[in-house]
Amino acid sequence: MRKEILTFAFGLMMLPSQGVAQTGSDLIPALEQLAAKNNAEAIYHLGMAYHTGAGLPRNPAKALEMFRQAAAQGDVLASYKLGCFYDGQGGTLVQQDAETALRHKLVAAEAGYALAQQDVAALYAAQRDWASAVQWLEKAMLQGWPDALSAYASVHNSAEGVKPNPVKTAAYFRIFLDRTEGSERQREWLSTFEEQMTAEQRQEVDEIVRSYRPAPTALTIKALSGQRAATELVS
């Protein structure tokens, strides 16, 4: 069967995190009042506002400070963002450190955040710990995270350290294409790939596709809600 990287390798999985996208005029003051009472989630949302420049002047150093405070108080999304700073987003504020990034991102991954799970998979892959990488990638894939679906298909096609599995490659890449726009080239690739499979393998693919039901965690849904989570916190 044709061996190609379907979309990207582990090292290109990183996506921007979710947070406060836009803020109303009353939201920031309300968050600041809660933060003054050591509310960890409010501190995290303020960190995102400083990080993105939404509602507050963009200030990476202040964002890092907020993420440190919130993570120390147990906010798992703040731990994720702190991990992102050590994974290359920190610029000159912190020295890039894969081990520290993994430690912080694992907090959010273990709590169920799909993007953190995908990032953790990439960090384990960089260590050539393929078993851990695939395990965490599968967790993100089961939540319906599109890039995790694509990467999960890809690694079962031709990734180093992973036994090829054409059924998983075809099934999860088809699910990925069904849930995203995809490209004509990707659809042509899948069609050619499936033509080379046995009838039994194609039946297995069909069954996986039929039975697939994404199950995002409450934390993933919350992380994707952006401003709504911050608004609900102060309301």
Work out the mean pLDDT of the chain and round it to a whole number: 90
Same-domain pairing of 185 and 234: no
For 230, the enclosing helix (H) or strand (E) is helix 227-234
Domains in the chain, number: 2
Which DSSP state fits 17? P
Say if residue 98 is in the same domain as residue 206.
no
pLDDT of residue 136: 98
Question: Who wins on pLDDT, 80 or 6?
Answer: 80
The reply to whether 72 and 89 lie within a common domain is yes
* 184 and 97, same domain (yes or no): no
Q: At what angle do helices 60-72 and 40-52 cross, to 10 degrees?
A: 160
Supply the range of the domain harboring residue 149. 144-214
Confirm whether 91 is domain-assigned.
Answer: yes
* Residue 138 belongs to some domain of the structure: no
pLDDT at 6 over 80: no
Q: pLDDT: is 55 or 79 the higher one?
A: 79
Q: What is the CATH number of the domain that holds 70?
A: 1.25.40.10
Asked whether the predicted pLDDT for residue 127 surpasses 60, the reply is yes
Q: Are both 39 and 116 inside the same structural domain? A: yes
pLDDT at position 97, please? 97
Q: Are residues 56 and 40 in the same domain?
A: yes
In a domain, 113, yes or no: yes
Q: Give per-residue pLDDT as tens, 51-64.
A: 999 999 999 999 99
Residue 133 pLDDT exceeds 90: yes
Q: Provide the CA 140 distance to its chain's centre, in angstroms.
A: 7
In whole angstroms, what is the distance from residue 207 CA to residue 199 CA? Answer: 13
Q: Is residue 139 part of a domain?
A: no
Tell me, yes or no, whether 22 and 79 share the same domain.
Answer: yes
Query: Same domain for 208 and 223?
Result: no
Judge if 233 and 189 occupy the same domain: no
Evaluate if residue 14 carries a pLDDT over 80. no
pLDDT at residue 24 in the model: 57
Cβ atoms within 10 A of the Cβ of 53, count? 12
- What is the pTM assigned to this prediction? 0.88
Judged against a pLDDT cut of 60, whether residue 230 lies above it is answered with yes
Residue 23 confidence (pLDDT) above 60: no
Give the three-class secondary structure for 111: helix
pLDDT at 1: 46
